[in-house]
Structure 1
């Protein structure tokens, strides 16, 4: 087991750690925003379906 890593290994490890840290910092807010937008979109779709049902029911009531 080597106690000291070479200079190239330290630089590579530092770049790798920094890159992964940056990706995590960027990914967390993106995931949060996407999940909020998805929930909102699902809610809008449910409201739209209910409105369509009400409109269809109202048309049926007026046609009789």
Structure 2
């Protein structure tokens, strides 16, 4: 019937709108995750900036050792 057809069409429109809203929410969540990563990076950079040259050298040596271990595994 015509009214049933209109109702199905309205339901399709509502479903598309719900899907768009879910996509917007996923995008907001991705943006929040990127912001958390930027915050972590800023924290790491802040810590490295405060290290002395000697401490920084030790960190880099440690990082290189870990990098080599990662290659071996």
TM-score tier by shorter-chain length is 0.5 to 0.7
* Count of residue correspondences: 51
Match of 1:54?
41
Using CA pairs under 8 Å that are at least 6 residues apart, name the structure with larger relative contact order, 1 or 2. Answer: 2
- Counterparts of 1:59 and 1:25 in 2: how far apart (Å)? 51
Report the structure number with the largest CA radius of gyration.
1
Unaligned runs of 5+ in 2: 52-73
RMSD (CA atoms):
2.0
Provide the TM-score with structure 1 as the length reference. 0.63
2:13 to 22, 26, 38: 26
Gaps of 5+ in 1: 1-13
